[in-house]
Amino acid sequence: MGLLNLLFPERRTSAVIARERLKIVLAHERASRDAPDFLPVLQRELLDVIGRYVEIRGDMIRVNVGKSGDTSLLEINVELDGAKVTPTKNGAAEDGKGVAKIDPGAATPWVKPS
Amino acid sequence: MAGKVVVLTSGKGGVGKTTSAAAIAAGLALRGHRTVVIDFDVGLRNLDLIMGCERRVVFDFINVINGDAKLNQALIKDKRSDNLYIFPTSQTRDKDALKRDGVERVLNELKESFDYIVCDSPAGIEHGAITALYFADSAVIVTNPEVSSVRDSDRIIGILASKSRRAEFNLEPVAVHLLLSRYSPERVRKGEMLTVEDVKEILSIPLLGVIPESESVLKASNTGTPVVFDEESPAGRAYHDAVARFLGEQRELRFLQPERRSFFRALFGRA
């Protein structure tokens, strides 16, 4: 079979394209389907809190629930690359105390992706 | 007697749920099982037309749920098989008329006198469709070899696994089966259509049958005769095979190769 495949590689017919597109979209949708309902709310609230200290957009934070062996994992990734400290508001101290210090050069995420 | 509830569902509309519900119910009846087929598509009644009993509808599913009619007043006996009954739905009410406890009461009553209760689900994932699949013991996922149908089938399989009664009460999961319909071997050969293996692999549920695209399906619906009564029809025979497999028989898949047109047929242009 291997030799046959080598001699006659699969044509990229529209059916082959359909199969590949389906596999990708369904892998994605299955992962989010099993996620608990609270994830979007958690993500929004985290965005709110972090946004008090650092200017951050919605697409810079990702919350996922997964499994690693027997351990359930809540994985929160916040991308702060190039993020600016939010101008002082009530809640954040004038002198910068309690405000997250961002090293603009640091590209390492706060939580390492597994 | 404790009948089994079988739901035909798909998510997507127009894939052949009603045709398949009619064919599978009739196929079960022809094999000697007492069978009733219920239309869950409240407001868009169509099973009666496909079964050819549209002029005999007096009372419907909603009347029985609301206690306005008795079950045996609403059930329509099929004229072709003594084992087959049709339970039409309401054309005028809206789908919210399907109350879960009422549906459960009616299904439990049907389970006492039927072997199989075949539920024809509406399209979508709204109230009517969820109610149709909620009480299922097994499910037939009607899928076309086409991207949107496969994706919606995957979604419905997920809903069966999480929102059905069996899932809610931690019972044995609903037995799901794939029924691939409107399959065109010729287009598959040309690489224009997903193959049966593709769909099976993507959805990863057991295959109940492959129904070839067939002119006889439209003819059957024109005359209100489930396609299994057409002995000549490849689709009809494929449904018979699917019913046999549903009942546990082993049968080879048929009609997966493009049909060879005989010299005679080519000459006279008859399909």
List CB contacts (< 8 A) between B147 and chain A: 18, 21-22
Task: Give me the pLDDT at residue A41, please.
Answer: 87
Task: Give me the pLDDT at residue A90, please.
Answer: 54
Burial category of A3 from C-beta neighbours within 10 Å (exposed 0-12, middle 13-18, buried 19 and up): exposed
Task: Give me the pLDDT at residue B271, please.
Answer: 47
List CB contacts (< 8 A) between B167 and chain A: none
**A63 Rama sector, left if φ>0, alpha if ψ -120 to 50, beta otherwise:** beta
Query: In Å, how far from its chain's centre is CA B224?
Result: 15
The tens digit of pLDDT for each residue in B28-49 reads: 999 999 999 999 999 999 999 9
Percent of the residues in chain B that have a pLDDT greater than 90, as a whole number:
90
List CB contacts (< 8 A) between B158 and chain A: 30, 33
Percent of the residues in chain B that have a pLDDT greater than 70, as a whole number:
96
Q: Are A25 and B151 a contacting pair at CB < 8 A?
A: yes
Measured in angstroms, the CA of B160 and the nearest CA of chain A are apart by: 13
Task: Give me the pLDDT at residue A111, please.
Answer: 46
Nearest to A26 among B146, B188, B202 (CB): B202
The tens digit of pLDDT for each residue in B207-257 reads: 999 999 999 999 999 999 999 999 899 999 999 999 999 999 999 999 998
Task: Give me the pLDDT at residue A96, please.
Answer: 47
Mutation for B interface: A16, A22, A33, A37, most B CBs within 10 A? A22
Task: Give me the pLDDT at residue B67, please.
Answer: 93
Q: Are A15 and B158 a contacting pair at CB < 8 A?
A: no
pTM for the full model?
A: 0.79
Mutation for A interface: B194, B195, B203, most A CBs within 10 A? B194
Mutation for A interface: B202, B204, B205, most A CBs within 10 A? B202
pLDDT at A103 over 60: no
**B110 Rama sector, left if φ>0, alpha if ψ -120 to 50, beta otherwise:** alpha
How does DSSP classify residue A66?
E
Task: Give me the pLDDT at residue A65, please.
Answer: 79
Q: Are A19 and B154 a contacting pair at CB < 8 A?
A: no
Nearest to A14 among B154, B155, B191 (CB): B191
The tens digit of pLDDT for each residue in A7-43 reads: 777 678 999 999 999 999 999 888 777 777 788 888 8
The residue-averaged pLDDT of B9-32 equals 97
pLDDT at B269 over 70: no
Measured in angstroms, the CA of A88 and the nearest CA of chain B are apart by: 46
Confidence of residue B127 (pLDDT cuts 50, 70, 90): very high
Which residue of chain A has the CA closest to B194? A15
pLDDT at B261 over 70: no
Contact residues of B toward A, CB < 8 A: 146-147, 150-151, 154-155, 158, 188, 190-195, 198, 202
B180 close to B196: Cβ distance less than 8 angstroms: yes
pLDDT at A107 over 50: no
Count other Cβ atoms within 10 Å, centred on residue B200. Answer: 17
In 3D space, the residue among B22, B132, B1 whose CA is nearest the CA of residue B84 turns out to be B22
Mean pLDDT for all residues in chain B: 94
Cα distances (Å, whole numbers) of residue B17 to B7, B113, B140, B181, B218? 10, 24, 9, 9, 14
Q: What's the token pair of residue B199?
A: 């769909």
Task: Give me the pLDDT at residue A110, please.
Answer: 45
ipTM of the complex: 0.85
B178 close to B144: Cβ distance less than 8 angstroms: no
Dihedral over Cα of B252, B255, B256, B260: its sign:
positive
Task: Give me the pLDDT at residue A60, please.
Answer: 84
Dihedral over Cα of A9, A13, A17, A18: its sign:
negative
pLDDT at B144 over 50: yes
Nearest to B191 among A15, A23, A29 (CB): A15
Nearest to A22 among B151, B158, B192 (CB): B151
Q: Are A23 and B202 a contacting pair at CB < 8 A?
A: yes
